[in-house]
């Protein structure tokens, strides 16, 4: 197998296309923190750190769920993409490159890089002992905007924490919708989630409340950061996308849920980053 084919299999293994969920919030936080574009070196290092952290997290998740995934019809083909030994190597290399990227950004990011890895790795075990697993996945993604803010400013402030809260709530909501596909498998395997705990109808109603709260948190971020008209227009579009997602989810059609999961949430991230860039760069 050629190196190009092996790389393509690795990217499929870690669902690289799903980087669109976390990257926009990191880039949006970056441009707001810098009140414009930071130096090109900072942008590059933020993007690299994001990619390496996510690759490490996803390979670790695949390794933790290696046997479980083989018993789930939706995921049973994952382990055929690359050998387990290759997944271990990819996780180790990605983790090291993430720490190296953080070291090149600033001392605070370097010191906190092991904490970030611990957070994104810990999620993989949570569905074994808590029905709040979706919130831990949200916390893993929320590392991205906080990290990007620290990369630019080298210090904490309330704004990225508000944005992180929005990401946690948004992710917990849409992952609850996505988890309806695995309801029967998760029950059979003794895994925990809000869908297993509450049942599908109630979990979908909770997801609506989570997304309403996420939208309010995004509004709080815009207000606290002093964002202008472009951001608020983007926020109106995000509200429309969230409503569409929940209308589709009510159908309980697996194909439709998959489309809503990827398309709607990818658009939400795209609208967010576009709105923040227009506000700070226009």
| All structural domains of the chain | 10-281 (1.10.357.140)
CA distances from 83 to 87, 99, 255 (A): 6, 25, 29
Query: What's the CA angle centered on 125, arms 120 and 130, to 5 degrees?
Result: 110
- For 218-263, what is each residue's pLDDT tens digit? 999 999 999 999 999 999 999 999 998 888 777 666 666 666 667 7
Whether this prediction's pTM lies above 0.95 is answered by: no
Structure confidence at residue 260 (pLDDT):
66
Parts of the chain with a pLDDT under 70: 1-8, 10-11, 13-14, 16-20, 75, 251-261
35-39-43-44 Cα dihedral, nearest 10 degrees: 180
Mean pLDDT of the chain: 88
Q: Which of 188, 220, 194, 215 is nearest to 206 (CA)?
A: 194
Structure confidence at residue 259 (pLDDT):
66
Structure confidence at residue 118 (pLDDT):
97
Tokens 């382990």 sit at which residue? Answer: 79
């Amino acid at each position: 197998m050629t190196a190009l084919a092996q790389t393509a299999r690795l990217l499929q293994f870690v669902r690289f296309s799903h980087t669109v969920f976390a990257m926009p919030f990191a880039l949006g936080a970056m441009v707001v923190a810098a009140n414009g574009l930071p130096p090109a070196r900072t942008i590059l290092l933020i993007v690299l750190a994001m990619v390496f952290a996510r690759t490490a997290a996803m390979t670790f998740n695949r390794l933790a769920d290696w046997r479980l995934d083989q018993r789930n019809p939706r995921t049973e083909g994952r382990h055929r993409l690359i050998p387990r030994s290759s997944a271990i190597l990819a996780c180790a290399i990605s983790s090291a490159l993430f720490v190296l990227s953080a070291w090149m950004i600033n001392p605070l990011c370097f010191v906190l890089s092991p904490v970030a890895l611990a957070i994104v790795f810990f999620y993989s075990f949570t569905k074994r002992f808590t029905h709040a697993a979706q919130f831990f996945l949200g916390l893993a993604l929320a590392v991205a905007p906080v990290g990007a803010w620290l990369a630019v400013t080298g210090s904490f402030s309330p704004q990225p924490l508000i944005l992180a809260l929005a990401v946690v709530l948004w992710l917990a909501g849409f992952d609850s919708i996505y988890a309806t596909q695995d309801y029967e498998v998760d029950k059979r395997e003794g895994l925990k989630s809000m869908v297993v705990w509450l049942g599908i109808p109630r979990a979908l109603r909770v997801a609506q409340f989570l997304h309403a709260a996420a939208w309010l948190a995004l509004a709080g971020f815009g207000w606290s950061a002093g964002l202008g008209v472009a951001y608020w227009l983007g926020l109106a579009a995000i509200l429309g996308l969230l409503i569409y997602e929940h209308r589709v989810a009510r159908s309980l059609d697996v194909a439709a849920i998959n489309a809503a999961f990827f398309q709607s949430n990818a658009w939400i991230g795209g609208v967010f980053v576009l709105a923040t860039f227009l506000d700070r760069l226009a």
